[in-house]
Structure 1
Amino acid sequence: MLSKELQMTLSNAFSVAHEYEHEFVTLEHLLLELLGVPSVREVIQACGVDVGVIEEGLEKFLESEMVSRKPDELQPTMSFQRVIERAIYLVQSNGYTEVTAVHVLASLYAEQDSQAVYLLESNGVERVDVLSYLSHGVTAADADGFLPSEAGGSGNVQEESEQDVQEKQSPLERFTTDLNESVMDGKIDPIIGRDWELNRTLEVLSRRRKNNPLLVGEPGVGKTAVAEGLAYQIVHHKVPEQLENAVVYSLDMGALLAGTRYRGDFEKRFKALLKDLEQQDHAILFIDEIHTIVGAGAVQGGAMDASNLMKPSLSSGKLRCIGATTYEEYRGVFEKDRALARRFQKVDIREPSEHETVEILKGLKSKYESHHQVKYTLPAIKEAVALSARYLNDRHLPDKAIDIIDEAGAKQALMPVSRRKKQIGVGEIQQVVASIARIPVSQITQKEKDKLHDLEANLKRVVFGQDKAVEKLTAAIHLARSGLNNPNKPTASFLFAGPTGVGKTELTQQLANHLGVEMLRFDMSEYMERHTVSRLIGAPPGYVGYDQGGLLTEAVSKNPHSVVLLDEIEKAHPDVFNLLLQVMDNGTLTDNNGRKADFRNVILIMTSNVGAEQMARSSMGFTVQDHSLDFESELKKVFTPEFRNRLDGIVHFNRLSEDSMVSVVNKFVYALENALADKKVSITLTDAARQWLATNGYDPLMGARPMERLVQEKLKQPLAERLLFGDLQQGGKVLIDCQEDALTFSIEK
């Protein structure tokens, strides 16, 4: 397809031939019009040739050398047609979408007998220059050097002066930032903590070969801060002698890629930058998000990218490079390119503890105080760290804590002067966290002690007939929160054992609700086979999905303060129990990539129906027999001694009594009342109706689950029919009674 610009040029060539009264449209007519196209003029000027000289030669040839004869109809010469056909073929073979004037210019050179080609070549415009400019944006003469030739004949000195200044800068000045200079200008703060990470980085940089540290850590833990801290240490002479004169340059990948329109532009820039770095004995290149160099500058189907250009310099020790990337990108990029990974030495940047983060914020708060014109109290700093660690689980310290104090200061700056506070306290921090985490402020402001003090009573109000289980659970949680238990173990590890439908899962859910944490539920019936165990910690390398992490480890990493429920644990494969030994003993679980998930703030609860059948046996004869020994025997068959000994306790759940079923009925009715309130319907159940439900929904073997089915069948379904098609479409009041062993519904508008 011919471009619109080229179509206009061809039309003008016919017009020029008509003006000269020539019989045929020749290549000279075509070239004269091509010289008026900006892209063609740019090519010729890049060769250092004055376009006007060629135009003058063409006009002289057309006036004196060609015979004027007014034709009936203009016809293009065969050479004219061949040039256009050749240009179309050139475009198709190189994968372009349309034929431009420059393609036609390049195709002219095949017609060596023409005056047009003679004028081009005699003035120094060679075919190789046109093709080089077409593919790389530079002429062949300039391809070996970094700085392109000055364009001749433009006459616009002021416009070119700014570009010339930029082009005369060295690649280091154009594409990197001098971090040492930034330190001296006061733009980089001193690093607080991170002594081990800094020392490890210095050790790697001091090596003779492969002296390239790769900082790997989660987003927001301070990888870039370590590199900037290194520059700060160098400027203030706190590094070994061999690194005293080092200069850290931070690569600006955006500047390196900007303006690289043609193939070869990026490679030329990057190689020039590497050459500059290698010539400086003490240069250190820092590449943030270093995984972006893999594939950067590569053309479709080509293997040469920035990472491959760097490999020879990295392995020889001529170039010292510090990279920073996340674990996810490290798995996805570096582990796949082993040749690149072996040239770097991995340095893990762990997330700082809450205590370390408080110290970091103490060092940074003066910067934010001067920016927002406020003061941060020490309790506010500690609260920002504690609440961010507890509620912002998708991010990492210290980044999320810094964001909280920054946003608290910004929030005050947006308030009217009359309401603006000069001091940020705990209350302001709590409001910001509630806004970011999208949770009620009351959930944050309620003290932990108050939650724990009322925990037992609150659980007994919603879980019925299991008072002993609730008491044992709350006592263990009180012990853990008091700080008297082992700090390297989970908050609590329990096995809930008992019949189905008696409230094991319900108690776990209510515990999470009252503590204000997430409940992470895993159905162990999905992990009955050996190969399914890898889903919890991630598939091994080489298998599909190995770079995605495990379900359990990822969930706990995102929600370190949570209740983990492993439902029906006895159905899991024995290998799962071996994994849990590590969790219950050390409070950590290592995934397939070597990352440790922290379980120290997790309440681990496993439910099981083992032994329920033995406990339900009736006594033989006239004596009451104790079946608890049978229950213990069944537990020993399923769970190994090392597993049972690591539990904080085995909580036995009793079968629900008939008396407790009335409380279960009240719970279901209360939930139904809330659902109907939105539809402007209120229901009232008489005591007889509640007792009828309790009696008919009681099954000592199945617990409360038959009650749920009974409420759905006898209450919800009749009400649903009336809501959709009956006399409750506009709302109303419903009195539910029991008559003749059946529920009756009386509706009042």
Structure 2
Amino acid sequence: MIAQELEVSLHMAFVEARQQRHEFITVEHLLLALLDNPSAAEVLRACSANIEDLRKSLTNFIKDNTPQVAGTDDVDTQPTLGFQRVIQRAIMHVQSTGNGKKEVTGANVLVAIFGEKDSHAVYYLHQQGVTRLDVVNYIAHGIKKSDPPEPAKGNESGASESEEGGERSEKASPLEQYTQNLNQLAKEGKIDPLIGRQYEVERVIQILCRRRKNNPLLVGEAGVGKTAIAEGLAWRITEKDVPEILAESTVYALDMGALLAGTKYRGDFEQRLKGVLKSLRDKPNAILFIDEIHTLIGAGAASGGTLDASNLLKPALSAGQIKCIGATTFTEYRGIFEKDAALSRRFQKVDVVEPTVAETVEILKGLRTRFEEHHGVKYAANALQAAAELSAKFINDRHLPDKAIDVIDEAGAAQRILPASKRKKTIGKTEVEEIVAKIARIPPANVSNDDRSKLQTLERDLKSVVFGQDKALEVLASAVKMARSGLGKGDKPIGSFLFSGPTGVGKTEAAKQLAFIMGVELIRFDMSEYMERHAV
């Protein structure tokens, strides 16, 4: 029932009480003995308790407040009711778990001690910042307490507080805990160089040099390079390629996940964020970068409350006490960020548009060496050109340059996983076409074939399978050729055609054959199936 280590601790508690000729053995005696119990001591250390401070406080309390028996006869020390309740509570708790655990350990007794809320044992544990929740979290889930304990207020701990002052001051600052130093990452070569985007970077630098409201907001679709601009600014700062006013600046990227993780109680999140903002105020050359800045609105707010992260940030932004770079998409900007007028007016919007195919090719050329070193292959020039062109043409759910970078990265990964005998040293256009076909889920032949050859024979091919509609097919083929000539906008449909005529003349067949010849997927809606109300 009771673990051997706990039996030893209980025996030592009774022996110590008899040697001191104490009339009773109390909960404080029990906690003092548990300080030498392996399982209980491990839990206390995981909860950031100072065991020596706790031992000193308990020893002084027991010495001053426990009655002693006079004389020289052996003392029959009796356990107090509180002592008995703690042991009984620990045994009942272990029995009620029903998980096959049979032995009561020192850690279980430590949890049971918190049931004696009026005891000095619990008071001294709270002085060390140890709560019942901390102990249970570590025993059940192995979660250590991340924050240091509250400074002890008793006279006994005054000396130890001064002794540990140096150690506590060496703990990580809020900036180290909840942000990433992009300048340091750039120095270590962990950030890819920024290719292009000269206008956007210069605009960001210009806004940062303002006296007030010096907070640029990068707005663009996912994958167009908003985060890369902030990283590129940090890289330019390390290379001294910025104006003198920003030469000593450091860019810190806020980690919202770390900021929210472990915030169990009301006020924990606000305290962390205020610590970050205070550290930024103390560093006049610091620049805060917040990716997905729209997540600040509502972050940390209690149910029905109005105080969230954005409201904590507003005063510092308007006064120019900190410099902040935000990044968000057009959808979130219009739907969330712009609705908070007080926050949005403190930022200066910088639109980050999707680069052209030619600009994407230049970006891929700049990143080529990084991917060649990682995958151990070479990229041919036509492979980079094909990655930009084909990804723009066939991958429609993402944006350049992100999807083109994904293509060359996956092409390198595809070669890397092959056996050495089958691996190619140089990735060409063919390998890129295969990857694009996999991502877009279309036949590889449709990617590799050139539209020119299809368009040249389009009219003849249509007439060979659809009969009696030569005039209509000529108009259709001419319209498709005009649309694919490149004169129209790339993000618009190739054409909208209305086939009219009686049943059975070849309207549906013409659409089917056009899709088959051009190598595109045909999605058919037969509206005769939706004539009844219940069919919709």
TM-score, normalised via structure 2 length: 0.72
Matched, 1:235 2:238: yes
Deviations 1:216-252 (A, max 9, x none): 2222211111111222333344434433332212223
Q: What is residue 483 of structure 2 aligned with on the other side?
A: 480
Deviations 1:271-293 (A, max 9, x none): 22211211222211112233444
Q: What is residue 463 of structure 2 aligned with on the other side?
A: 460
Matched, 1:170 2:173: yes
Matched, 1:30 2:27: yes
| Letter of the structure 2 residue corresponding to residue 389 of structure 1 | A
Deviations 1:569-588 (A, max 9, x none): xxxxxxxxxxxxxxxxxxxx
Contact 1:44 1:50 in 2 (8 A): no
Cα distance 1:182–1:49, how it changes in 2: closer, same or farther (>3 A)? closer
Deviations 1:144-182 (A, max 9, x none): xxxxx99969xxx9xx9xx95995343333433332333
Q: What is residue 196 of structure 2 aligned with on the other side?
A: 193
Q: What is residue 653 of structure 1 aligned with on the other side?
A: none
Q: Equivalents in 2 of 1:150, 1:420: separation in Å?
A: 68
Matched, 1:313 2:316: yes
Q: Equivalents in 2 of 1:407, 1:27: separation in Å?
A: 73
TM-score, normalised via structure 1 length: 0.53
Cα distance 1:351–1:42, how it changes in 2: closer, same or farther (>3 A)? closer
Deviations 1:571-606 (A, max 9, x none): xxxxxxxxxxxxxxxxxxxxxxxxxxxxxxxxxxxx
Cα distance 1:59–1:240, how it changes in 2: closer, same or farther (>3 A)? closer
Cα distance 1:32–1:181, how it changes in 2: closer, same or farther (>3 A)? same
Structure with larger RCO (C-alpha < 8 A, sep 6+): 2
Contact 1:43 1:133 in 2 (8 A): no
What's the CA shift for 1:396? 1.5
Cα distance 1:50–1:387, how it changes in 2: closer, same or farther (>3 A)? same
Cα distance 1:499–1:212, how it changes in 2: closer, same or farther (>3 A)? farther
Q: Equivalents in 2 of 1:367, 1:411: separation in Å?
A: 16
Of 330, 336, 347, 2:350 maps to: 347
Matched, 1:514 2:517: yes
The secondary structure found in structure 1 opposite 2:324 is strand
Q: Equivalents in 2 of 1:19, 1:486: separation in Å?
A: 89
Q: Equivalents in 2 of 1:241, 1:283: separation in Å?
A: 14
Deviations 1:165-203 (A, max 9, x none): 995343333433332333344443432222332233233
What's the CA shift for 1:355? 1.5
Contact 1:106 1:131 in 2 (8 A): no
Cα distance 1:471–1:151, how it changes in 2: closer, same or farther (>3 A)? farther
Q: What is residue 428 of structure 1 aligned with on the other side?
A: 431
Deviations 1:680-714 (A, max 9, x none): xxxxxxxxxxxxxxxxxxxxxxxxxxxxxxxxxxx
Cα distance 1:372–1:69, how it changes in 2: closer, same or farther (>3 A)? closer
Cα distance 1:472–1:174, how it changes in 2: closer, same or farther (>3 A)? same
Q: Equivalents in 1 of 2:255, 2:249: separation in Å?
A: 19
Q: Equivalents in 2 of 1:103, 1:197: separation in Å?
A: 61
Contact 2:54 2:128 in 1 (8 A): no
How is 1:230-629 mapped onto 2 (pairs within 5 angstroms)?
230-257=233-260, 264-297=267-300, 303-331=306-334, 333-335=336-338, 337-483=340-486, 491-499=494-502, 502-519=505-522
Cα distance 1:132–1:492, how it changes in 2: closer, same or farther (>3 A)? same
Deviations 1:321-367 (A, max 9, x none): 11223344445542454443333333222211112111111222122
Q: Equivalents in 2 of 1:151, 1:53: separation in Å?
A: 12
Contact 2:127 2:152 in 1 (8 A): no
Cα distance 1:435–1:319, how it changes in 2: closer, same or farther (>3 A)? same
Cα distance 1:70–1:509, how it changes in 2: closer, same or farther (>3 A)? same
Cα distance 1:120–1:449, how it changes in 2: closer, same or farther (>3 A)? closer
Contact 1:132 1:138 in 2 (8 A): no
What's the CA shift for 1:297? 4.8
Cα distance 1:524–1:242, how it changes in 2: closer, same or farther (>3 A)? farther
| Letter of the structure 1 residue corresponding to residue 409 of structure 2 | D
- Structure 1: segments with no counterpart, 5+ residues: 85-98, 110-115, 144-148, 526-749
Cα distance 1:54–1:345, how it changes in 2: closer, same or farther (>3 A)? same
Instruction: Give the number of the structure whose alpha-carbon radius of gyration is greater.
Output: 1
Q: Equivalents in 2 of 1:512, 1:166: separation in Å?
A: 70
Contact 1:379 1:426 in 2 (8 A): yes
* Greater share of strand: 1
Cα distance 1:442–1:44, how it changes in 2: closer, same or farther (>3 A)? closer
User: Percent of aligned positions with the same letter in both sequences?
Assistant: 49
Contact 1:217 1:350 in 2 (8 A): yes
Aligned CA RMSD, in angstroms, stands at 5.0
Contact 1:27 1:79 in 2 (8 A): no
What's the CA shift for 1:294? 4.2
| Letter of the structure 2 residue corresponding to residue 58 of structure 1 | I
Contact 2:47 2:130 in 1 (8 A): no
Contact 1:288 1:323 in 2 (8 A): yes
Residue correspondences, number: 482
Cα distance 1:218–1:524, how it changes in 2: closer, same or farther (>3 A)? farther
